[in-house]
Structure 1
Amino acid sequence: MAAIQKLLNVALPPLSFVLLLTLMLPILLFKILLHVKQLVCTDENMENKVVLITGAASGIGEQLAYAYGNRGALLSLVDIRMDKLVAVADKARSLGSPDVTIIHADVSKLQDCHRFVDQTVNHFGRLDCLVNNAGIGWVSGFEDWNNDDSQFTPIMDVNFWGSVYGTLCAIPHLKTSKGRIIVISSVLAWFPLPIRTSIYNASKAALISYYETLRIELGGAIGITIVTPGLIKTDLGLRVIEEDENMGKIPMVSASELAESIVKSACKGDMRLTEPSWMKVLLPLKVLYPQVVDWAFRFMFGIPSKETNSRTKGHSLTERKPE
C-alpha cells in the first residue's frame, strides 16, 4: 500500500496537468454553449410561485422579498423579529406579490423549521423555492476567546444549522414541485480575510461544502444556487469597515443590487453566483499563489511575521453584537 501511495504521489500530478491541458478547450466550448443557451432560453417565471425566505426582516432577505414580490411571487417571510416583518410584507404586496404570509421563527431550532415549512405549505398548498438567508455576523477572533463556547456557537447554529434544518424539512415539498434552494454563503468562505471573522467564515464555508454535496446527492431533483457575496452594504458589512479601515477601500454592493442579481441567477438555473463578479478572480489567486496571498494580507493588515511579537488586542468582545 505504501508503494502505491508513493507511485500516485509521483505520477498523478504530471498526469493531472496533461489531462487539464487536454480538456481545457472542450470544457471552454461547453461553457460557451451553456452561456448561449442561457441567453436564448427564457428565465423561470416566478408569478404565483411560492418562495420562502428566512431572515426576511432586513438586509439581503428584505430586498429579496421585494425582488420576488416584483415578479409576482407568493411569499412566506420568516424572521425572529416579527415587528419588522409586517412592514416588509406590506411593501412586498404593494410591489406586486399577490399574497404574503409572515412567520415568527428561530431557524436554529429544528421544531421552528418544521413549523414554518408546514405553515407555508398549508397556506399556499406548495413550495417552489427556499431561500436560506438567515444569518448572524460577529466580528471577533481567537484573541477574543474567553474560554466560553457560548460566544461562538450561535454563529454556527444560525448560519449553518439554520440553513440545514430548513432544507431538510423542505426537501420533500421541493422534490414535488421540482423547486430550487438558494443559500447565502460568502466570498469569505473561500477567500478568508484576517479581519477577526474566523468563526463566521467557517460557518459560511460549511454551507458551501454541505450544499455542493447535497446537489450531487439529490441528482438534479432540486436546483441549488450557492451565492457568495462580497462586501454588502448591510449592518454586518458596515461593522466590518468600522473594525478595519482597510476594508473601506473595497467597493460595496447594495443589498438591493445583490437581491436582483440573486433572483436573476436563480431564475436562470445557475449553480453559483459571486457578486460582484470581479471577485471570482480571487479564487485562482488563492489556489495558485497561497504564499503570495498570505504575504499580501500580512502587509495590508499590518500583521507581524512569526519572528515579531503577537499583535496587541485592539477591542473587547463586549463591544460587538450579533447581526
Structure 2
Amino acid sequence: MEQVVNTVMDLVVPPASMVMLAFAWPTLSFLRGVEWTLKTLTKEDMLGKVVVITGASSAIGEQIAYEYARRNANLVLVARREQRLFAIRDNARLLGAGHVLVIAADVVKEDDCRRLVADTVSYFGQLNHLVNTVSLGHDFSFEEAGDTTAFPHLMDINFWGNVYPTHAALPYLRRSHGRVVVNASVESWLPMPRMSLYSAAKAAVVDFYETLRYEVKEEVGVTVATHGWVGGDAGGSKFTLDQQQQHQEGAAADQVQWKQQQGEREAAAAALPGGHVEAYARALVAGACRGDAYVKRPSWYDVFLVFRVFAPDVLAWTFRLLLSTSTPAPAGPSAIAARRPPPAALPAPPLRPLLEYPPAAVSRGPAHAQQVVQKLE
C-alpha cells in the first residue's frame, strides 16, 4: 500500500506543485518586493559596528572590506600573511572606516580562530558581523591528481575555514544579535568540470549554514551569498597540479605557491567584465545589512536549480552539449594527458582474505552456521 501511495505522489505532486507555483509567482514576487522595500528602509546602520572579514586579502574579501568601510564600520582584516593587508587597511581608512585592525591568522587552525575573535572582542568590546570569504579553487580533474595529499588541504580551507571562525564567534554574535555572512558559490549545486572538490566543499558549507540558521533561530542572522561562475574562483586563489606537488616540499614551495596565487588573483580581477567582484561585494554587504537570508548575483542561475530538481536529465544534456562544443578536442595528445602522472601499478591482492570464515561452518548444521553469522556480525 505504501508503495502505491508513493507512486501516485510521484506522479501527482511535481506537476501540481509547478502549476501552483506558476499561479502564485506574481503574488510571491509582489510580497518579496514589499519585504525588500521594508528591509531597505530599516537596514542596519554599520556606524561603529565591528566586522571581521576572513580572507580579506582575496579579491572578494578586499572589496567587501571597502564596502563596509563606506558604511563607516570598524574592520578586522584577517589573512595568513598580514603584509598583504596593510594596503587594504589604508584604503579602507580613506573610504571611511573607523578603526581597522590587522590580524595574521590561519582560519584552518582552531586556536588561531579563537585568538582572532578574542583579540577583536578585547580591542573593540563587541563583534557584529563575521564575513567568511576564505576560498581556494583548483584547476584539475579528479583523475589527474596522482597524489591525494592536496584533497584535505582543499577541504580544510573551503569548509573548516568557515566553520572554525563561526564556532569561535558565535557566542559574541548572539550577544550582539549579529550576523554571519558566508561567501559560497553557484558550484555548490551547479556542476562544473575540473572543480569537483571545490564544489563538494561549497555544497557542504551551504548545508552547514542552512542547518545553523535553524539552530540559532532569530538570535544570529545568517546570509548565504553565491556568485556565478567567472572562469574560476572569484577570490583569485587556485590550487593547480604544480602547486600540489610543491605543497609537499615544505616552506620554500609555500612561497612559490603564494606568488602563483597572487598572480592569478590580479589576473582574475582584471579579467572580470564590468567590475564583477565589486558588484558582487556591493550586493553582498547591502544584503547583509538588510538582513537578507540569501544574496545571489547574478540571480538567473536559479533557473538551473529548478531544472536540477524537476528535470535533471535536461540539465545534464544541456551541460554535455555546452561542454562538448565549447572546448574542441585537440588533434594531438592533450595537455591534460601530457601532465598527468604515469599510472601507478595496482596494489597486489592481499595474501589473506579480509574476512575469514571458519572452515566447515555449514557442514556442522544450520544452528552452528547461525551462531557463526551472529558472531561475525
**Cα displacement string for residues 178-218 of structure 1 (whole angstroms, at most 9, x for unaligned residues):** 11110011001111122x01001111111111111111111
Letter in 2 for 1:224: V
Change (3 A) 1:317 1:275: farther
2:63 is matched with 63
Runs (4 or more) in structure 1 with deviation over 4 Å come to 19-28, 249-253
What pairs up with 1:293-308 in 2 under 5 angstroms?
Answer: 293-302=315-324
Letter in 2 for 1:187: V
Letter in 2 for 1:203: A
**Cα displacement string for residues 63-117 of structure 1 (whole angstroms, at most 9, x for unaligned residues):** 1111100110000110012111111111111110110001101111111111111
Change (3 A) 1:19 1:292: closer
CA-atom RMSD, angstroms?
Answer: 2.7
What pairs up with 1:245-264 in 2 under 5 angstroms?
Answer: 254-264=276-286
Letter in 1 for 2:339: S
Q: Output the TM-score relative to the length of structure 1.
A: 0.84
2:304 is matched with 282
Change (3 A) 1:6 1:299: same
Distance (whole Å) between structure 2 residues aligned to residue 252 and residue 142 of structure 1: 32
Paired residue total: 299
Gaps of 5+ in 2: 241-263, 265-270, 328-333, 342-377
For the pair 1:215 / 2:238, whether they are aligned, the reply is no
Q: Which moved more, 1:221-230 or 1:283-292?
A: 283-292
1:308 is matched with none
Instruction: Check conservation: 1:231, 1:251, Cα contact below 8 A.
Output: no
Shift of the alpha carbon at 1:285? 2.6
Instruction: Check conservation: 2:304, 2:315, Cα contact below 8 A.
Output: no
Letter in 1 for 2:221: G
What pairs up with 1:163-242 in 2 under 5 angstroms?
Answer: 163-194=162-193, 196-232=194-230, 234-236=235-237
Change (3 A) 1:202 1:251: farther
Distance (whole Å) between structure 2 residues aligned to residue 135 and residue 17 of structure 1: 38
Q: Which moved more, 1:224-233 or 1:120-129?
A: 224-233
Change (3 A) 1:219 1:24: farther
Distance (whole Å) between structure 2 residues aligned to residue 280 and residue 109 of structure 1: 34
Gaps of 5+ in 1: 243-248, 305-310, 319-323
Q: Output the TM-score relative to the length of structure 2.
A: 0.72
Shift of the alpha carbon at 1:314? 4.4
Instruction: Check conservation: 1:231, 1:250, Cα contact below 8 A.
Output: no
Instruction: Check conservation: 2:57, 2:84, Cα contact below 8 A.
Output: yes
Distance (whole Å) between structure 2 residues aligned to residue 268 and residue 315 of structure 1: 50
Q: Which moved more, 1:137-146 or 1:174-183?
A: 137-146
Letter in 1 for 2:116: F
Distance (whole Å) between structure 1 residues aligned to residue 272 and residue 134 of structure 2: 24
Distance (whole Å) between structure 1 residues aligned to residue 150 and residue 304 of structure 2: 30
2:9 is matched with 11
Shift of the alpha carbon at 1:278? 2.4
For the pair 1:150 / 2:173, whether they are aligned, the reply is no
